[in-house]
Amino acid sequence: MLILLRKIRLRHQSQIDQNDVEYQAERLRVGSGQGQDLQLFGDEVGRAHCTLEPSSEGGLRVRCHGQHQVTVADQDVAQVDLPANEWLRIGPHQLARIEAPPGFDLAIEVRIDSTATESVKERLGDALSLRMPRIRMLSYALLAAVLILGFALPLSSTFSEGWRNTLSRVGAPTNRHWATGELSRAHRMPAIAENCSACHEKPFRRVRNQACLSCHTGMSHHTDDPDLLALTGLDEQRCASCHIEHESPRRALIAEHVGLCVDCHARPERFAAMTELAPVRDFERAHPEFRPQVFDRDGTLQRIAQSETPRTYSGLIFPHDVHLDADVVHGPDGAGAALTCAGCHEPERDRVGFRPLSFERHCRGCHDLDAVLGDAVVELPHGDLDAARSLLEQAAADMPAPDVEAPARRRPGFEAPRGEQDQVEAVVDRVIGVQVCARCHEVTRTPGEVASLSAPRWPQRRFSRALFSHASHQWTSCESCHNVSDSADASELLMPDIADCRSCHTGANARTGVASTCVDCHQFHRGHTATFGAVPMPDHPLMSAGD
C-alpha cells in the first residue's frame, strides 16, 4: 500500500513549509520515539503513540498504544474510526485523512507544531536510570547453583553407583568432590577410590580402625603387650591419628615425622612401662648411643653400649688385617689378588644383608683340613667335630708309636706295636687344639678333657632395634663404616657408632645432611603376637651362623 504523508510545519499557527513523503506500508506508526514513521514531539506524545490505517468506510482507523489517547472533537479516545477529512489531535499536532492523489492508496495530512519538542527527560527516558544487575535474583541463582552442584548432586551420588557413574560420565559433581584432597597412591585401587564407604562406613562417624584392618589384616601394633599399650595410651590411638589420608597425592600415607615418636619417647620417665628406655628427641641431637648385640665368652647374647667398647666372641679366630693384606694373602689359588670384603660377605639378593658365611665357599680355597699324622694325611670333615675326632682316633691308633723302635724284622703272628690310648688322645688333642682346628677356631679345654670347639656364633642382627639396609648404602665403600683393615682381633666389634652415622645422617628438620626420621631406621608396628592380629617382625640378617 502506497501512503502519501503530507507534513505541514506550523509555527505559531503559520505555515513554515510543506513536505510530502511516500511510504510503502500497511499502516503508519506515530510517536515521539526513534523509528516511528511519523515522529511528533511534545510532552503529550508518547514514544510509540498510535498506528494509523485506512478504515473500511474510507476513513482512518486510529489505535493508540498503552495509556495514550488522541483527541477527536474534544473527546479523548484510545481508538477511533475517523471519517475522511475529520481532524484529530495528538498533543499540539493535528492530522486527517485527505483525498489521495492518483497512484496513492492513502493520503494523510499532518499539521505539525514545530515549536513542540520532546523534553530531554522524556527523550532519554530510562537511559538515565542505572542499569544494575538484579542482586536478589543473582543471589538466589548463585546460592541454588552452589547447593545443587555442591550438595544435592554429590549427595544423590552416594545412593546409587549407577547414578554416580552417570554423573561422573557427564562431568557433573559427585561425592568425589566432597573429598578434602586426593587419595594417597597406595589407596588408588577402584574398590577404595570409587567407593567412599569402603573407609567412611557411616556418615558422620569417624573412620574406624576396623575399616583399615579389614584389608590390612596382618598389621601389628607397637607392642604385643596389651597392658603396655594401655599404659602408654597407645590403645586409644586410631590408625588415622598417624596415617592421614586425603592430604596430597605426593605425600605418602606413612607419617614420617619424629614428633609422632618423641611425643612419648622424649620423656620415657612419664610412662611406667618405659622407664628403662633412654630419651630420644632427634637423631642428630638427642639419640642414645647404639647398643649392638654381641656374644660374650660364655656365648650369652647381650646388648652393650658402644662407649663400653663391647667385644664379641664368635669362637672364630679371624684377623681381618691379615686376610686383607695383599702381601700376605694371594687369593685362593695363591696367585690371585688379595681378598675383598665381598669375597666372604656376599650380599643377599635384596642387598639388605649378607648370605651366611660358609667354610666350603669362603675358607676351603686356602685352608685345607688335612691333619698329618706320621706318614698319613687325614682330611678332616668340617662342621662335625665328633666325626673328625673318630677319624683322628682311628688314624692315630694306626700310627706307629714314635717312641717304639721298629724291629728289624717283624715276627709273624706279632702285630707291630701301635699307639696306646693315651697317645691317641694326645694326637687328637694336638690336631684339634693346635695343628688344624685351632688355627681358625677358639678351642676350649677343660681340665682333664680333650680339646673342644663349638660352632661360631653371630647375632642375626647387630642392631636389634633398628632396621639397617645395606641396599641403600651399597654405593659407599665398606671401609667407610667398617674399619677392618687394621683389625687383628676377631673379637673387635667392627661396627660404626652413632657418630659415624651422624657424619651423613642429620636430624629430621636439618637443612643439611641426610635428614633422617625415626621410621628411617625404626619400625612402629613391631608387636609379635596379636593385638590387631599380628605377623612377626621381619628379620634382615646381617650375618647368620655359618653352615
Give, in degrees to the nearest 5, the angle at Cα 499 between 494 and 504: 105
Between 7 and 320, whose beta carbon lies closer to other proteins?
7
CB closer to other proteins out of 102 and 133: 133
Q: Which of 81, 78, 88 is nearest to 110 (CA)?
A: 88
- 245 or 429: whose CB is closer to other proteins? 245
Q: How far is the CB of 109 from other proteins (least distance, A)?
A: 20
Beta carbon nearer to other proteins, 251 or 330: 251
Please give the backbone phi and psi of residue 501, each rounded to the nearest 5 degrees, phi first. Answer: -65, -40
For other proteins, the closer of residues 66 and 125 by Cβ is 125
Closest approach of other proteins to the CB of residue 206, in Å: 5
As measured in angstroms, the least distance from the Cβ of 520 to other proteins is 15
Nearest distance in Å: CB 114, other proteins:
7
**Residues within the interface to other proteins (CB under 8 A):** 11, 16, 34, 39, 114, 117-121, 123-124, 126-133, 135, 138-143, 145-147, 150-151, 154, 173, 175-182, 196, 200, 203-207, 242, 244, 247-248, 251, 255, 257-260, 263, 509
Which residue, 52 or 196, is less far from other proteins as judged by CB? 196
Which has the closest alpha carbon to 82: 52, 111, 109?
A: 52
- Cα–Cα distance measured from residue 301 to residue 253, given in angstroms and rounded to the nearest whole number: 37
Q: In angstroms, rounded to a whole number, what is the distance separating the alpha carbons of residues 346 and 186?
A: 33
Q: How far is the CB of 39 from other proteins (least distance, A)?
A: 8
The minimum distance between CB 469 and other proteins, in angstroms, equals 24
The nearer residue to other proteins, 214 or 394, going by C-beta atoms, is 214
Q: Least distance (Å) from other proteins to the CB of residue 25?
A: 17
Q: CB neighbours of 114 closer than 8 A, spacing ≥ 6?
A: 9, 10, 11, 16
CA dihedral 457, 460, 465, 470 (to 10 degrees): 120
Closest to other proteins by CB, 91 vs 419, is 91
Shortest distance (Å) from residue 50 CB to other proteins: 19
Quick one: 16 or 189, whose CB is closer to other proteins?
A: 16
Please check whether residue 239 is in contact with residue 212, taking contact to mean a CB–CB distance below 8 angstroms. yes
Question: Least Å distance between CB 268 and other proteins?
Answer: 18
Name the residue among 157, 184, 163, 168 with its Cα closest to residue 245.
184
Query: Closest separation between CB of residue 207 and other proteins, Å?
Result: 7
Q: Beta strand 88-90 with 93-98: parallel, antiparallel or unpaired?
A: antiparallel
- Number of other residues whose CB lies within 10 A of the CB of residue 395: 21
Q: In 3D, which of 327, 362, 356, 368 has the Cα closest to residue 344?
A: 362
What are the angstrom distances between the C-alpha of 119 and each of 42, 116, 122, 231?
7, 9, 5, 92
How big is the CA angle at 42 (ends 41 and 43), to the nearest 5 degrees?
140
Rounded least distance, CB 175 to other proteins, Å: 8
**Do strands 505-506 and 514-515 pair parallel, antiparallel, or not at all (unpaired)?**
parallel
**SS3 (DSSP) at 282:** strand
Provide the 3-class DSSP secondary structure of residue 286: strand
Name the residue nearer to other proteins (CB basis): 283 or 458.
Answer: 283
Q: What is the 3-state secondary structure (H, E, C) of 370-386?
A: EEEECCEEEECCCCCHH
Check: CB of residue 92 under 8 Å from CB of residue 117.
Answer: no
For the bound state, the minimum distance from the C-beta of residue 203 to other proteins, rounded and expressed in Å, comes to 5
Provide the 3-class DSSP secondary structure of residue 94. Answer: strand
Q: Following DSSP, what letter does each residue of 215-259 receive, concatenated?
A: T-TT---S-S-HHHHHHHTGGG--HHHH---SS-TTS-SS---TH
Nearer to other proteins, 242 or 329 (CB): 242
What is the enclosing helix (H) or strand (E) of 8? Answer: strand 2-11
CB 543 within 8 A of CB 458: yes
d(CA 468, CA 542): 9
Nearer to other proteins, 196 or 432 (CB): 196
Of 111, 101, 93, 95, nearest in space to 62 by CA: 95
Pick the closer one to other proteins by CB: 125 or 513.
125
22 vs 76, which CB is nearer to other proteins? 22
Report in angstroms how near the CB of residue 522 gets to other proteins at its nearest: 15
How are strands ordered across the β-sheet holding 2-11?
A: 14-24, 2-11, 106-113, 93-98, 88-90, 70-72, 75-77
CB of residue 181 to other proteins, shortest distance in Å: 6
